[in-house]
Structure 1
Amino acid sequence: MLELSSTRRGLIVYLLVWLFLGVALGGVIWLASDTPLANAMLFSIPVNLEYAFATGYSAFYLCRAYPLGSRRPGQIALVLTVAALASGFLWLIIGNLWNALCLVPVVEWSGIVITPQLSVLIVVLGVLLYGFAAALHYLVIEFVRAKNAEQRELESLLMAQEAELRMLRTQIDPHFLFNSLNSISALTSQDPKAARRMTLELASFFRQSLGMEAHKKVTLGEEMVLIRHFLAIEQVRFGERLLVEEDIGEDAARCMVPPMIIQPLVENAVKHGICNMPEGGTVRISARRAGSILQISVSNPVDEDMASIRSEGHGIGLTNVRQRLAGAYKHEAGIHWGRKEKSFGVDITIPAQTSERGE
């Protein structure tokens, strides 16, 4: 009863069902005897609504005390049968009391004649209705239990996904830090000023990345600030060999993306593309919003030797990005990569969202 009446709609539906049953009982009394229709309805409807609350609360607490699967089916059936019979006879007693009250001379209308046949009908109907109420409560209890189990499973899945995302992100930071420290170490003796600039950019990079850790998603504009720090670090190392082209739409820059989802792609573009080309090249980053889809592309020139693209480090970066996209967006996100003539490109498509809640 408590679960059925927890919402206004549920309570209204519950009362309408019992009101219909009361009208039906009144119709049976009217057709089976010479009782006026008004008398039959004024007897059956109040008694039926009273029984609705009595059986509702009784069945609710009884179903709670004897949940399905916790005890033997025979024991549960016996308890429900005894309760139904007791409720049926109690309903008959209440009906007689209400009818006696209606027969008081002060009242202008008369009650009905409760015959033995009607008494049996009331008891039998009370037993059946109690059984109906118990079945309904068991159905609602099992539905709520299944819903709660589904909610707990969903929460566990989300927690597992968040843990996986944290693990994947922690794999990225040490990898980049290792490469940057190697570069700084190499520049310390060759170009101390460049090493100092790289150190400052590295500090800015990690300061920015730590500020993004508290968010599941950040705007693409914030992600690009992080990427610019990274590219500034690499440009100290490669000089004029590394050129960058950005083509980020204003509406795309406002869209939300997982933190550091593009940085590994740019790092791969530098490490496996520019690094292997004596003349260097241009890393191109573009983003466009097409309706409800955000399209992001990162491309770089590559050497004719495709072995560099198939290296282990390149595969780890792309695999991490693919797993993070799957954890954040399921099947709604996609990532594709491959060689196009003398360049290697990675294309990402994700839902265009302007808030962390996905709106």
Structure 2
Amino acid sequence: MLGAFGTRRSTALYLAAWALLGVLLAGLMVAAGGAPWSASLPFAVPLALAYGCASGFSAYYLCRAYPLATRSLGTVLGVFTCSAVCAGALWAAAGNGFAESLRPLVPGLPPMTRPFVALMFGLGVILYGLTAVAHYLALEFERARSLERRELEMKIAAQEAELRMLRTQIDPHFLFNSLNSISALTSIDPAAARGMTLQLSNFLRRSLGMDAQRKVALDEEIVLVRAFLAIEQVRFGARLRFEHLIGEGAGQCLLPPMLLQPLVENAVKHGIGNRLDGGTVSIAAERAGALLRIRVENDADWDDASQPAAGCGIGLANVRQRLLATYAHAASVHWTRHDARFRVDIALPAESEPEKEK
């Protein structure tokens, strides 16, 4: 079924409206002809329901055949005027025939006088026109919803494509730096280079197995960060230290996969790697109401020209773009230097999987 009969709810509402019109028609018969309600209702209500179904289907298909966007107003008015007149005449004739067949079964049903037949004809024309207007409104509403849904689907598709692009940007960048580290170790410590290669293989197997579109828990992200730092620790040894403090409820909060990895990579490359005595990379996270706050810090030299400038660098730019694509303006990322430490602060909506909620 189409039009007003597209769903059970719309069908029920449509038929209820026409049943009410039948009751009003019965009231006119009682007021004008003095017919009792017991005779008027069995005549008027079924007749109104039958006309509602017939005019509903007819008007719906005509509205589809003559859309307002592509047809001239004169053509539409002409088609529906002729259709309304024909429908009104058929309804008046059907009413007259129905009354004659019903009269032996329903005592008190008055004869169909010419004024009443003319009244039925006029009501039929008006009701057909109102039905057509209602169908045009419904079709326009349906078209607007379809366009809105299509626009939303296109927006989601564009967002997913952007997230995939940003995710694929991380992997070559990390792999390039890791291979450089392995290359540097091959001439210094071949055994360490082999160990780093195996750890890199395990890390890539774990990271590539993560769905770029599925958010992961912060605890899972920390495990990945530890695996990355284990790779780098083959080269840096005791010079590279790692600390993390995850507040209650923060570990179960969800975030885009490998969001922290480029920040930790920058901390090692631009911070720890440029200090003779190394330093510490620390991650702190806490859930503050509806927000998850994450801080990534590392020791850094203030006079080191290799430190990333404001808003520059693949790591910071990638994190900012991924947060914008995923959360729009509900998330933020800021960086600063404080007490010989380079600090990145991230705030994003605190989301948790239902089964992990406490």
TM-score normalized by the length of structure 2 = 0.93
SS at match of 1:353: coil
Q: Deviations over 1:33-70 (max 9, x none)?
A: 22223322232211111111111111111111222212
Q: 2: CA distance between counterparts of 1:147 and 1:313? A: 39
Match of 1:232 in 2: 230
Q: Cα distance, 1:179 vs. partner?
A: 1.0
For the 8 Å contact 1:256–1:356, the answer to whether it is kept is no
Q: Does residue 276 of the first structure (1) align with residue 280 of the second (2)?
A: no
Asked if 1:149 is matched to 2:147, the reply is yes
Identity %: 54
* Matches of 2:309 and 2:269, distance apart in 1: 11
Q: Contact (CA 8 Å) 1:100, 1:111: kept in 2 or not?
A: no
State which of 262, 265, 279 in structure 2 corresponds to 1:267. 265
Alignment of 1:340-355 (within 5 A): 340-355=338-353
Amino acid at match of 1:176: F
For 1:57 and 1:225, the matched residues in 2 are separated by 62
Secondary structure of 2:318's counterpart equals: helix
1:66 aligns with 2:66: yes
- Give me the whole-angstrom Cα distance separating, in 1, the residues matched to 2:349 and 2:59: 48
The answer on 1:135 being equivalent to 2:150 is no
**Alpha-carbon distance between aligned partners in 2 of 1:224 and 1:30, rounded to the nearest angstrom:** 80
Match of residue 246 from structure 1: 244
Partner secondary structure for residue 345 of structure 1: strand
Q: Match of 2:276, SS?
A: coil
Per-residue deviation, 1:96? 0.7
- C-alpha displacement at 1:71, in angstroms? 1.9
Asked if 2 retains the 8 angstrom alpha-carbon contact of 1:87 and 1:127, the reply is: yes
Q: Gaps (5+ residues) in structure 1?
A: none
Q: Is the 8 A contact 1:216 1:356 kept in 2?
A: no
How far is the alpha carbon of 1:22 from its aligned partner?
1.5
How far residue 221 of structure 1 moved from its aligned partner, in angstroms, is 2.4
* 2:83 pairs with 1:77: no
**Letter of the 1:173 counterpart:** D
Who is 1:304 aligned against?
302
Name the SS of the counterpart of 2:214 in structure 1.
coil
Structure 2 residue aligned with 1:47: 47
Number of the residue aligned with 2:97: 97
Structure 1 SS opposite 2:4: coil
Shift of 1:112: 2.1
Distance 1:157 1:358 in 2: 30
1:1-32 C-alpha deviation (Å, 9 max, x unpaired) = 72433333222221221122112222222222
* Distance in 1 of aligned mates of 2:3 and 2:278: 69
RMSD of equivalent CA atoms:
2.3
Structure 1 pair 22/357, CA: closer, same or farther in 2 (3 Å)?
farther
What's the CA shift for 1:210?
A: 1.1
Aligned to 2:185: 187
Distance in 1 (alpha carbons) for counterparts of 2:237 and 2:148: 55
| Residues 334, 344 of structure 2: 8 Å contact kept | yes
Cα distance, 1:225 vs. partner? 2.2
Q: Which residue of 1 aligns with 2:324?
A: 326
After TM superposition, give the deviation of residue 94 of structure 1 in Å: 1.2
- For residues 150-165 of structure 1, what are the structure 2 equivalents within 5 Å? 150-165=148-163
Q: 1:236 to 1:156 in 2, by over 3 A?
A: same
Query: In structure 2, how many angstroms separate the alpha carbons of the residues matched to 1:33 and 1:173?
Result: 86
Q: Which amino acid aligns with 1:82?
A: C
For structure 2, which runs of at least 5 residues remain unmatched after alignment?
none
How far residue 167 of structure 1 moved from its aligned partner, in angstroms, is: 1.0
